[in-house]
Structure 1
Amino acid sequence: MSLPGNGIFVVQGEMAMLVTAMRRSTRWGSHSFPNEEYDVLMRTFQDLKTILNQVDDLRLLDPATYLSPFLEVIRSKETTGPVTSLALSAIHKFLSYGLIDPTHPSVPATVEDIADAVTHARFVGTDHSSDGVVLMKILQVLRTLMLSPEGAMLTDESVCEIMLSCFRICFETRLTELLRRNAEQCLRDMTQLIFMRLPQFPPEDTGSASFATVGLSLKKREKTSKKKSLTSVNSSNSLERKSSISEPPSTTTTELETESDVSKGDIRHTQDKNLINEAEITIEPVDSVKSPVKKHGRHSSMDLAANGNTSITQLLEKCVSADSADEKVEPDGEKTEDVQDAEKEEDAIPEQDGIETIEPITPEAPVEDSGDKPAEYVNHRGIRFTPQEDATNLQPYGLVCVRELFRFLISLCNPLDSQNTSGMVHLGLSLVGTALEVSADQLAKYPSLLYLVKDPLCRNLLSLLSTERISIFALDLQVSFLLFEALRTHLKFQMEAFYKKIIEIISSDTTKAIYELKEIHHLALESLSQMFRIPGLCAELYLNYDCDIYCMNVFEELTKLLSKNVVSSTAYNIHSLSLEALMTVIEAIEMGCTQNKEAKTEIELPGEEEKGEIDRDGRGGHVSLELGGLDDVSVVSDHVTHDISQYFISGRTGRHKPSSDLPTEAELDNIKNMKKWVTQGTELFNQKPERGIEFLQEHGVLTTPLDPHEVAMFLRENPDLDKKMIGDFICKRSSRGEDEDGGPSVLGAFADSFDYAGLRIDQALRLYLETFRLPGEAPLIFLVMERFAERWHSTNGEPFANTDAAFRLAYAVIMLNMDQHNHTAKKLNVPMTVEDFVKNLRGCNGSGDFESSMLEAVFHSIK
């Protein structure tokens, strides 16, 4: 959108209305001498008026020049709600009218300043309705800023603050329902925009220094006494405003940062030792002010960066780290750094001096000459031109912001978090659904986002299937559908767990269930029908699960369950829904068979002379049943069927290309037979391992004579084997010795099947021992650990003096684990400290010692 030519008159009109409202306000309308903050704010508007009278076009000015006075009014805690509302309306109008030139070099710094001012808006509260209007204006400005072309220049930190400001309004129960619903809609629009821009972001590089620079989190806050003073916003442990525009030291800011007279309803953030930066800001709730505030009376200041109900409101955690070159994605998605490192990063951010500023507006801020900076220039109109430096340091938001927002939305869906209310879970699911609707196909291109999908998101979705709230259950099913429809090629085991849970829900007894449970059954069956309509899904289920030796027969179990429900007499029309789902399966199979035949024969559209023959082969007769009383349906039905089939082949089946390496029918039959024998052999193995192995040899699953490597892979890949029986089997004498040809034993092949390259010894040991349970006898434990030590020591380039040193350290790790986590051991002895652990291993590395840093890392990992 082109810039309006009368933009300068728009700014003058908004400025006149705002100055008039300031003069008429209750606080500043008295005959007493105005306070210093009033003097500063009014003077900035007088200076802006002078500048605007000297220029003919608004495009000749830096946007910060005419925006700064309005933003200072928004930041000021001395302004009333109506005045702040007018300033917010002005900013919204400037953004909506396109008065900010997106090509101007200072626009990144300008939009940063707008976002900072609006998210930290402070004003004098009067009543709930008036304050709600201001909050509505704040939401309006934040939404317009994010969705405007200039919003793409916001940084990751600013976008996170904007989103959290909206979240706090959503979760503030003291606010009106209308306001909170408006905030939810703003969040949906912003989430939609951010994830729609995902294809524009370059592929992530986990080794880059800019990876994971922000954190988006909410932490619980606590109330403190009103006598406690306000901690400075600019202290080393506080959240510093990241605006890159150099601001003058005003009376408003000074009073805000040093105020010690805290009113009765103030809230102070408690410092979390795990946070790098946190904002400790005093807030007085809106409802503590019942009447307009008089001069020198108590006031309420509202800061969206730290506002809300103390029972559920939480603290913004901003993890800023430039030392993330070696960072990897962790399960919690967060990273903590030392406070001193954060302070150094804060100090490393230079001040913005590359935009035009108005000299009269900042009389208290003298120009500091620096030998290494270019000279400043002030033209005849009083406009200062300074060198452009910091604007290049403001990077637009990108994948980091998307990842942190996605991680935060997933955390809201966690039903195990006691702080997540049902409303939070519902909102989190709704926003995750919005993200998947617009960018589900793009998530697989970014490993960090795909990790969040595979682990925390799928875990939360599976947990929410146990809820009794119908609205959450229905939303959970819809999100699961979007997820598996787009990313099922990456979610094999998660999808298996989902179907297991759905089968469990539908199979539960419904004769004595309450109405809500009946509705849950209905929703589960409807979800199955919806999934079965995905082209090719039925065949995928059969190939990937029923024809996988170690997976559940998902397709078989589903069809059996649906068939059972169809013939059973149940209430609430469950049998009708089961029949619909079963017919959907049959229809999907028939469509797949038809498409395969057409693909093989490559049938072309027949001519007029061939249409009669097609009628006689039965194809036209099938369609004529649907068309009813038409006399000559053969021509019409064939034409319609051909077009629809062609439409489905070119459209719906094109989203996911089928694999080119599909097994033949003979191979599938062989797999199904082998799966039957493996299932029976697994049951026998869990009773008596030797009998199970013999059974598998008799039916050709395992070779005769026994191949140790083959047995080792069977023990590792079969998830249904009893871990205790695995430990007993590999430790038996027959499994420990070498075979007749001098080959490795089963124990040796089992230990050699692991890849420990690059793993610390405690990490490798955890990987090794999670596959079986150690036997109780010390000699057997000795044998198992000896094999492990040999394998780990050789694959890691022999880091210790000898294999015996690796064995001693591995055994010490097991003893440390028992010392730290065994309740009986804790009662008998005091748990070891890190000093005791290091002392006990002195001289165990040949004739020397292990590295103390490595031992300390092992100790803290086990503890």
Structure 2
Amino acid sequence: MSSTTTTSPGGKQEQRPAAVPLVSSLDQRTTPGRNSFAVADVTAHRIKSELTWYQLVHAEIIAVTSAMRKNARWSGMNVNGLNMGGLGMSMGLRKGHGGNSELHSRNQENPLMGGFASLREYLNTVQEVEDLDALLLLNPFLEVIRSGNTTGPIAGTALGSIEKFLHYGIVGLRNPSIAFAMNALSSAATHCKFEASDAASDELVLLRMLQVLEMALTSESGQVLSDEAVCEMMETGLSMCCQMRLSEMLRRSAEHVMINMVIAIFERLKTLEDEWVYIDSPTYRHENIDANKDISKGAPHMSTPKQSSSPTTSTEKQLSSTTPNKESSNAENDFIGGNTDTVEGTTSNQKQEREDEGEGENNEIIEPAPLRPYGLPAIRELLRVLISLLNPHEHKHTDSMRLMALSILNVAFEVGGKSISRFEILRSLVADDFCKYLFQLAKTESTQLLSLTLRVIYTVMDTMRPYLKLQQELFLFFLIERLSPTSGAGSRAMVIDMDDEGNISLVQSSGKDGNDVKTGTGHVDVRSGSPNIYGKSSKSQGIDRNTSPEVRELLLECLLQCSRIPTFMVDLWYNYDCDLSCGDLFEEAIQFLSKNSFPDPNGYPAFDSHFLCLDTLLMFIDQMVERTNTHVNADPIPKSFIDPKELMARKARKRLILKGASLFNESPKKGIQFLLENGIVVPDESGDVNVSLARFLGTTQQLNKKSLGEYLGRPENLSLLQVFMRQFEFSGKRMDESLRIVLETFRLPGESQQIMRVADTFAEVFFETNPVEIANSEAAQVLAYSIILLNTDQHNPQVRKRMTLEDYMRNLRGVNGGNDFKEEYLRAIYETIRHDEIVMPEEHEGRLGFNYAWKQLLHRADSCGSFVVCDTTAYDKDLFQLAWKPALAAIAYAFDTAQDDSTLQKAISGFHQCAMLSAHFQLHDVFDAIVINLANMTGLIEETNGRNSVPDPIVDVAGQKYVVSDLAIRFGRNYKGQLAAVVAFAVVTRHGNSMRKGWKKILEIIRNLFVNSLLPGSMLQVEDFLSGTTSIPLKPKTPVPAKQQNRRDGSLLSTLSSYLLSPYANDEGYRADPSEEEVESTMCAVDCVTACKLEELFGDMSSLEDETLVALMTAMQEVGYNTKESESPEETTPYNPVTVLFLEFIVSIAIRNGDRIQLLWPYAVDYIFSVLKHADKQSVLVVERTVVALLRLCISFSAKDDMQDSILQCLKVLRDFPPAVTQAVGEQMMAGIYSLSNANSENLNKSEFVETILEIKQKVASAM
């Protein structure tokens, strides 16, 4: 052996033998085996201490040995000479018994001290920390931990030393033997033993042990731990979490450690490339994880922790092999949940080492076989055990244990949920037992357990959505079902209704809708084939689902949390509502949320739950808006998604199928007729409908299984029954397996003849597959009927004496073509039926019924396809069309009943976003409904008498005069009305192109604001031929009564025709002075009108589309002038300023949109002609303003060749005025004709125009 001269860490030069490198599994840097993955890159050692590693290790050796010497067993012991004899043997000397007997005895009595002495000698041979053999370094400390002879303080000191080695980086991935060292550390820590003292001191040691386990697994070196080691560590932590004899602090600390370890374990999934090759072994196939059963040899296994163990028993067993002479005085601490067996995956050498250490005969380290770093086997086993703790039917598992398991599982899926979904062996656990237990726990009334359960469900559904399509459907329907109060016998469903005016409300359903078949056998469950979590059939109406407000709020919070997924609602629509085999989950969710945003008189009182429903709806709207803004330039229909039109066609077909299923459940004849009429069932070329009908009956989940069985069992439907049976694939299956498949699709009828008919038909079809065990069709019929009887015999609770295998075989003797069936064949049938009942659909309730339905769900999951995440705007229009009405109803109700600004802000945002979406999707009826609802909320729609005989008082505020009207006071006091007005005009100004019928409501508001002197003055400015620009007066001056009908005083006519009074003129006879509060309310109304920015609404109409302009002009005609004629020919219509206001609006819009005058001219002149039709009965001011408006139109378009005929027609109307009217408006008419003549239009020089103008002038001159 070569040697080198080195300087020891202590500074002394010495000759050292060259260190012999030990075999390390890390030399390959990869996991051995067929399927391996690289360990994380190994970086250079960096010690987290300013002391040298040599000093640190020696300091820890001194700390442990000093603690040992405080004990009487090691007091005064000298470690020198403990290892004498080894040098001679290495030099070839024979080991004797004479002089070395004393040394041998000392070695046997002090193996722990001797280990530290050997370590000190070894440290002198190591120069660099990277060369430090990790196993040799840790072994003396591990021996102290494993020994049952040490006290708690000694074991705690040794554990602290190991933790420091890991934390400071003295032990790292570059160290030789690191893999074996880490696995030895795991084994020693999980089997930590020491003499018990007081509980507090012992728990401090156990806490230190937990910290070492955490450090070992979460550190860089934890990557090399084996599957068996990780399972041992996690089993130890779980057991301590569940040991009720431990203090609360220690159990919570153990849970915290478990969570940190689980984070490290499940983060490892992100680095695994694929599944292990051996996962297809029977150990990893789908299995029931409820019971702890034998695990295949070589597979890591964890025992399910128990709430309480028997430490006395386990202590006695282990002490008997270590220190039998102290069995009565020492209380050894072994916290593996009372399980004395080690993990079966532990190598035999490691087991032998632990056995040898108790005897103290030979502590020589035997090099074990290379270890495989942990991966899927350990992760799967950990997941299996944690899931098993959730089983609600396992009574030995307490709620505290379930809470602990849920906390750990939640962290596991938060860290690695998406990574879990990559591996089939993990997905199968989650999709089956995990989801089943979670959904059953969700029924609890314990708020603590329910809260954590719902959180885990959300985490799982969020991270593994593509693989849990049907599970998510079941859970969401469960939420809606449990949150929906039980309806009374006479109550009807509440639906959203909208009247002709666009007002939305929640009303009771009439129950007359043909699609609303909810009673009797015609009931169709919208959840399709999902099981009922309550374990009752869909017919059971007596389920009390009234939940406490606390539980209800938790359930709604969970639904709200699910809705925070940006594509949640569109995913529901795409994956469920448009899938023939799934329920209408999106529609159910929207209806539930909108209905529960209202206080239901038959349901829950108003709690925060109503606001949670509203928040969920608003979140859905907000997500659509966000997608609209984000995907502005994106392809609206990605190639990976189904075209929206095709999806809507599927939805329409689904409605027909559901309607047909409902009718079939009520009356098969009516149902089939409906299916034929709507093309769901189609006859073939020969006119036979059996093939198509059989396919419908076999694939439609919503059919009543009892009705289906009775229909198929009728003698006239024998040919249909045969076709129905031939849909199934029986080849290669045993008869009981094939019969089980058939009987899962319908329920056997009650009459024996019908049962025989079904059994015979099945047997006939089954025999066509040529089963070798059956001689002929008669034998097949007998065997099929016998299986049905055997199933009843074995599982009917009324049968006391069960049929044995011998009885069953005896009953079938000689029926197989004169011979017996093979014993193995009948035995297999008998044992299968005995252990697994053929459950008829809708036959069982409770736990058995749920388990059967759950199996059906898993079976359907294989063919239902993956869950598709729809991050696209392609379907948003269809969704919004379905959801806008209930959503708007909820928003309007929230606005109307809000008691705080936060709720008002939510409602206002909802209005804005709904308006934006309706404008974006060009849904004019939706936009109209939004505007109409907002307009109704303002309180400005009601007719007001703005022309009272007693004028409203006028006040001066800051130099401005304001009219204090009743409407102004009422509106100023209506805070929500003011907000509604601001929102209404904001959305109309921004999205006015989308409005049609809503214009009428907006114009009614403007009308009422005008007659109450609340419109901005700029909107009242009009052009006049005589006065230039003036304002529209609300009332004319009180005229001097005319004694003659034909008035000749031109100055009086001029006075009447001019606008000398503003709307706020000072007249006599006012009401009492207003109070300060009324003045303040009026100022609030004025400020609100200013905030509405009405000038912007009518400032530029050129951007409006043709259809919008037509709707606006039509609304102005309806609101501005009442065409009903006066009943008395002598009666003169009083002055109506509203007629003048909208006349000016119409003319202004027409003039500003000159390029579209052909479109607008008919509406403008129709309004004008309807006023002038009875000019002699109209107020002079109204007629005068109408004449001015007509002439302004003629002047504006006199140069347009295509408008000449229309202009000439207008001039002829003026020419044909009665003399009295001509006399009254003559001055304005002449001024307008003069302006028209100066328009420099060549068209006006035509003879017909000249003649008409001359005639007008002559009539005016004669009338004056």
* 293, 296, 301: which one aligns with 1:215: 301
1: CA distance, partners of 2:405 / 2:314? 36
* 568, 575, 579: which one aligns with 1:548: 579
Aligned to 2:633: 598
* 129, 132, 135: which one aligns with 1:64: 135
Q: Does 1:862 align with 2:833?
A: yes
| SS of alignment partner, residue 369 of structure 2 | helix
Indicate if the aligned counterparts of 2:190 and 2:335 stay in contact, CA closer than 8 A: yes
Give the letter for the 2:623 counterpart: A
Alignment of 1:407-422 (within 5 A): 407-422=384-399
Q: What displacement does 1:416 show?
A: 3.1
2: CA distance, partners of 1:210 / 1:14? 47
2: CA distance, partners of 1:471 / 1:533? 23
| SS of alignment partner, residue 218 of structure 1 | coil
Aligned to 1:750: 724
Q: Does 1:465 align with 2:532?
A: no
TM-score norm. by structure 1 comes to 0.71
Indicate if the aligned counterparts of 2:389 and 2:397 stay in contact, CA closer than 8 A: yes
Q: Does 1:730 align with 2:730?
A: no
Deviates more, 1:704-713 or 1:438-447: 704-713
2: CA distance, partners of 1:698 / 1:360? 85
Indicate if the aligned counterparts of 2:147 and 2:358 stay in contact, CA closer than 8 A: no
Aligned to 2:746: 772
Aligned to 1:677: 656
1: CA distance, partners of 2:552 / 2:53? 60
Indicate if the aligned counterparts of 1:532 and 1:588 stay in contact, CA closer than 8 A: no
| SS of alignment partner, residue 543 of structure 1 | helix
Q: Does 1:567 align with 2:565?
A: no
2: CA distance, partners of 1:397 / 1:811? 53
Aligned to 1:718: 700
Q: What displacement does 1:134 show?
A: 0.3
CA RMSD of aligned residues (A): 4.0
Indicate if the aligned counterparts of 1:88 and 1:137 stay in contact, CA closer than 8 A: yes
Deviates more, 1:472-481 or 1:86-95: 472-481
Indicate if the aligned counterparts of 1:727 and 1:773 stay in contact, CA closer than 8 A: yes
Larger Rg over CA atoms: 2
Q: Cα distance 1:748–1:586, how it changes in 2: closer, same or farther (>3 A)? A: same
Indicate if the aligned counterparts of 2:242 and 2:305 stay in contact, CA closer than 8 A: no
Aligned to 2:349: 351
TM-superposition CA deviations, 1:681-704 (whole Å, max 9, x none): 323322333332223223332224
Alignment of 1:679-694 (within 5 A): 679-694=658-673
Aligned to 1:518: 549
| SS of alignment partner, residue 413 of structure 1 | coil
2: CA distance, partners of 1:812 / 1:53? 83
Q: What displacement does 1:13 show?
A: 2.1
Alignment of 1:378-777 (within 5 A): 390-392=368-370, 394-508=371-485, 517-568=548-599, 570-594=605-629, 598-600=633-635, 660-665=640-645, 667-704=646-683, 705=687, 707-737=689-719, 746-777=720-751
Alignment of 1:231-270 (within 5 A): 254-255=321-322, 259=324
Indicate if the aligned counterparts of 2:306 and 2:337 stay in contact, CA closer than 8 A: no
Higher relative contact order (CA 8 A, sep 6+): 1
Q: What displacement does 1:585 show?
A: 1.8
Q: Does 1:85 align with 2:156?
A: yes
* 244, 247, 253: which one aligns with 1:173: 244
Indicate if the aligned counterparts of 1:216 and 1:404 stay in contact, CA closer than 8 A: yes
| SS of alignment partner, residue 567 of structure 1 | coil
Indicate if the aligned counterparts of 1:802 and 1:845 stay in contact, CA closer than 8 A: yes
TM-superposition CA deviations, 1:497-547 (whole Å, max 9, x none): 212122123323799x99993233333333333333322222221222223
Q: Cα distance 1:688–1:509, how it changes in 2: closer, same or farther (>3 A)? A: closer
Give the letter for the 1:581 counterpart: T
1: CA distance, partners of 2:817 / 2:724? 28
2: CA distance, partners of 1:55 / 1:185? 38
Q: Cα distance 1:795–1:63, how it changes in 2: closer, same or farther (>3 A)? A: farther
Indicate if the aligned counterparts of 1:205 and 1:211 stay in contact, CA closer than 8 A: no
Give the letter for the 1:717 counterpart: T
Q: Cα distance 1:662–1:138, how it changes in 2: closer, same or farther (>3 A)? A: same
Indicate if the aligned counterparts of 1:681 and 1:695 stay in contact, CA closer than 8 A: yes
Alignment of 1:3-42 (within 5 A): 3=45, 4=47, 6-26=52-72, 29=75, 38-42=109-113
Q: What displacement does 1:124 show?
A: 1.0
Give the letter for the 1:696 counterpart: L
* 804, 809, 812: which one aligns with 1:833: 804
TM-superposition CA deviations, 1:197-219 (whole Å, max 9, x none): 11322224466559642333316
Q: What displacement does 1:552 show?
A: 2.6
Give the letter for the 2:58 counterpart: Q
Q: Cα distance 1:858–1:206, how it changes in 2: closer, same or farther (>3 A)? A: farther
Deviates more, 1:481-490 or 1:216-225: 216-225
Q: Cα distance 1:543–1:81, how it changes in 2: closer, same or farther (>3 A)? A: same
Q: Cα distance 1:6–1:261, how it changes in 2: closer, same or farther (>3 A)? A: closer
Indicate if the aligned counterparts of 1:106 and 1:354 stay in contact, CA closer than 8 A: no
| SS of alignment partner, residue 746 of structure 2 | coil
TM-superposition CA deviations, 1:259-297 (whole Å, max 9, x none): 49865xxxxxxxxxxxxxxxxxxxxxxxxxxxxxxxxxx
- Number of equivalent positions: 684
2: CA distance, partners of 1:93 / 1:126? 25
Indicate if the aligned counterparts of 2:482 and 2:547 stay in contact, CA closer than 8 A: no
2: CA distance, partners of 1:825 / 1:847? 30
Q: What displacement does 1:783 show?
A: 3.4
Identity %: 34
Q: What displacement does 1:86 show?
A: 0.9
Q: Cα distance 1:42–1:459, how it changes in 2: closer, same or farther (>3 A)? A: same
Indicate if the aligned counterparts of 1:76 and 1:253 stay in contact, CA closer than 8 A: no
Q: What displacement does 1:162 show?
A: 0.7
Q: Cα distance 1:770–1:215, how it changes in 2: closer, same or farther (>3 A)? A: farther
Indicate if the aligned counterparts of 2:130 and 2:174 stay in contact, CA closer than 8 A: no
Q: Which runs of 5+ in 1 are unaligned?
A: 234-251, 264-297, 308-314, 321-344, 368-383, 602-656, 738-745
2: CA distance, partners of 1:176 / 1:231? 23
Aligned to 2:794: 820
Indicate if the aligned counterparts of 1:164 and 1:316 stay in contact, CA closer than 8 A: no
Q: What displacement does 1:36 show?
A: 8.9
Indicate if the aligned counterparts of 1:216 and 1:317 stay in contact, CA closer than 8 A: no
1: CA distance, partners of 2:258 / 2:363? 42
Q: Cα distance 1:261–1:163, how it changes in 2: closer, same or farther (>3 A)? A: same
Indicate if the aligned counterparts of 2:239 and 2:305 stay in contact, CA closer than 8 A: no
2: CA distance, partners of 1:205 / 1:193? 23
Alignment of 1:107-126 (within 5 A): 107-126=178-197
TM-superposition CA deviations, 1:454-480 (whole Å, max 9, x none): 222222222232222333333333322
Q: Cα distance 1:598–1:658, how it changes in 2: closer, same or farther (>3 A)? A: closer
Aligned to 2:1138: none
Q: Cα distance 1:214–1:659, how it changes in 2: closer, same or farther (>3 A)? A: farther
Q: Cα distance 1:595–1:183, how it changes in 2: closer, same or farther (>3 A)? A: same
Q: Cα distance 1:586–1:229, how it changes in 2: closer, same or farther (>3 A)? A: closer
2: CA distance, partners of 1:114 / 1:366? 16
TM-superposition CA deviations, 1:64-105 (whole Å, max 9, x none): 223222212111112110011111112212222333352456
Q: Cα distance 1:108–1:30, how it changes in 2: closer, same or farther (>3 A)? A: closer
